[in-house]
């Protein structure tokens, strides 16, 4: 009897050691075939985190199916790398006030009011789906025709959308800023142009600015994890560092 009991215990131990890996492999195969992600693996890749909740002054578009990359083509887009929080001065949150503020940090409307290039769309998760850019401003090199010079020689520019739908009516401005090449290069983005364009916008906002008798200065919060880093889904295949600047613009 003792020998039989010992044999049964040995058999049970062997099964416990060698059975688990076999079951695990079968489960992994089922996961691969079904397309489901194995438990414990992260849902997001390339530095992106789950949608941010309880943010002040803006709402993460991903909570309602939006994203931090606009739609330049069917497959690719440009990063929405700056947010002007709705905690900012109310004047800046209105379209006309925002245009005046943009002038104070070195941008102006397009040359002679004429648009060049594609119209970009963005889904801010506010219930309005993909909507066309509200504003496109270019670097204003000098008075009168300063933005016309940008159209020729290249420089900084940005597109802006306001988050104002019923699902996310924050009133914040979502901005895609970049640095582009001259017209002979068909205004393609410079190497590292998305990061450089964002930084130029942010540096001037944080430094302080004025226009038409009004003065502003912005506080800056840097966020990571809102969009992937690298060049996944990014237009022209230009990598980004994945950082988004949250600006709160104060009127002085």
Say how many C-beta atoms besides its own lie within 10 A of residue 126's C-beta.
23
pLDDT at 203 over 50: yes
Using one digit for the tens of pLDDT, what is the confidence trace for 218-233? 999 999 999 999 998 8
Q: Which residue has the tokens 């949250």?
A: 246
pLDDT at 2 over 60: no
Residue from 187, 252, 169 nearest 215 by CA: 252
Q: Quote the pLDDT of residue 31.
A: 34
Please, which pLDDT band fits residue 16 given cuts at 50, 70 and 90? Answer: very low
Using one digit for the tens of pLDDT, what is the confidence trace for 53-108? 999 999 999 999 999 999 998 889 999 999 999 999 999 999 999 999 999 999 98
User: Which of the pair, 6 or 209, is modelled with greater confidence?
Assistant: 209
**Mean pLDDT, the chain, whole residue set:** 81
Tell me if 220 sits within 8 A of 247, measured CB to CB: yes
Q: Phi, psi at residue 5, to the nearest 5°? A: -60, -40
pLDDT at 152 over 90: no
Which tokens go with 51?
């949608």
Rounded CA separation 180/81 (Å): 15
pTM, whole model, 2 decimals?
0.80
Rounded CA separation 34/242 (Å): 31
């Amino acid at each position: 009897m003792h020998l039989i009991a010992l044999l049964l215990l040995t058999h049970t131990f062997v099964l416990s050691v060698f059975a688990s890996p076999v079951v695990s492999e079968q489960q992994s195969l089922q996961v691969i075939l079904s397309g489901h992600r194995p438990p414990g693996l992260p849902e997001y890749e390339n530095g992106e985190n789950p949608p941010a909740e309880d943010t002040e002054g803006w709402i993460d578009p991903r909570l309602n199916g939006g994203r931090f990359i606009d739609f330049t083509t069917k497959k690719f887009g440009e990063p929405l790398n700056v947010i002007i929080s709705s905690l900012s001065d109310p004047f800046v949150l209105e379209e006309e006030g925002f245009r005046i503020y943009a002038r104070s940090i070195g941008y102006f409307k397009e040359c002679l009011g004429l648009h060049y290039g594609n119209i970009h769309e963005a889904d801010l998760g506010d219930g309005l789906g993909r909507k066309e850019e509200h504003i496109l401003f270019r670097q204003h090199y000098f008075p009168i025709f300063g933005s016309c010079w940008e159209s020729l020689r290249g420089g900084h520019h940005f597109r802006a959308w306001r988050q104002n739908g019923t699902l996310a009516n924050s009133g914040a401005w979502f901005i895609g800023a970049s640095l582009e090449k001259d017209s002979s290069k068909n205004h393609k983005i410079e190497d590292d142009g998305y990061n450089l364009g964002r930084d130029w916008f942010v540096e001037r906002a944080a430094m302080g600015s004025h226009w038409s008798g009004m003065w502003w200065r912005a506080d800056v919060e840097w966020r990571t994890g809102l969009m992937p880093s690298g060049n996944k889904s990014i237009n022209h295949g230009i990598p980004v560092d994945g950082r988004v600047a949250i600006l709160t613009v104060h009127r002085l």
